[in-house]
Amino acid sequence: MPGAEAFNSPGRPEGGGVGVLVSHGFTGSPQSLRPWAQHLADQGYAVRLPRLPGHGTTWQSLNRTQWQDWIAVLERELLRLLDECDTVFVAGLSLGGALVTRLAEEHGPSIAGLMLVNPAYRSDDPRMRALPVLRRLAPSIAGIASDIRLAGVTELAYDRTPLHALSSMLQLWALTVRDLPEITQPVLLMQSDEDHVVPASSSELLLSRISSTDVTHVRLADSYHVATLDHDAHVIHDRSVEFVERVRRG
């Protein structure tokens, strides 16, 4: 899909050897996070925003992948950043938030901090309970893209939600939630007051289970789920840079 390409920035000396791994969400693409990634790159940070397998092509392609495929791509980029940079942060939107949280659980202090926008660790959709049966009856259901308050802005994402891939995402959620107490790094959580995709209880779950003592919770009053393309994008940009600079300087 044109516009779904990955974003990579080599970083510059004024970035102080800071790397940031950024992950987009389920059925989405790097397009939804490109302005955020570009802003981080403008600070001189080395930024990696890969396109997850099965995304940015067709929803049928996504239905042939699973969460291990998605996180393998992110881990490859993370290891490159850890090799190139003095300090590395992870960032993500929605499912991307869950994926980078899983990486932080597994890599511990190698990751300096997490920056999360409306991260997804659970769903209140009653259809999730019927998913084991539903995915045998139909390959997909209606999509969840472009939950954006700002008029005229569209997320580059699928108009269908593939059910085999969705089932795999739920497996990732279970593992990630189980190991949330392993998170001790500083966390910047940026949460929309009105989100039609991920329930508020998802962020509440994160906050209730992590072991981090340095937690900043920013409310986004004028954005829906894809806040990185919404009215509060500038808040995400500014607070992220503030967080990175504060954490890396100790």
pLDDT string in tens for the chain (250-residue length): 999 999 999 877 666 799 999 999 999 999 999 999 999 999 999 999 999 999 999 999 999 999 999 999 999 999 999 999 999 999 999 999 999 999 999 999 999 999 999 999 999 887 777 777 777 777 888 888 899 999 999 999 999 999 999 999 999 999 999 999 999 999 999 999 999 999 999 999 999 999 999 999 999 999 999 999 999 999 999 999 999 999 998 8
Among 23, 94, 140, 212, the one annotated catalytic:
94
**Residue among 147, 195, 230, 232 flagged as catalytic:** 195
Cβ contact 82:110 at 8 Å = yes
Q: Which two tokens stand for residue 24?
A: 């987009």
Q: 164 an active-site residue?
A: no
Cα separation, 1 vs 181, in Å, equals 38
On whether the CB atoms of residues 163 and 63 are closer than 8 A, the answer is yes
The predicted model scores a pTM of 0.95
**Catalytic one among 24, 55, 225, 237?**
225
* 237 catalytically annotated: no
Q: Report which secondary-structure segment, H or E, holds 70.
A: helix 67-84
Q: Give catalytic status of residue 232 as yes or no.
A: no
Q: Are 178 and 239 in contact (CB under 8 A)?
A: no
Q: Are 220 and 192 contacting, i.e. CB atoms less than 8 angstroms apart?
A: yes
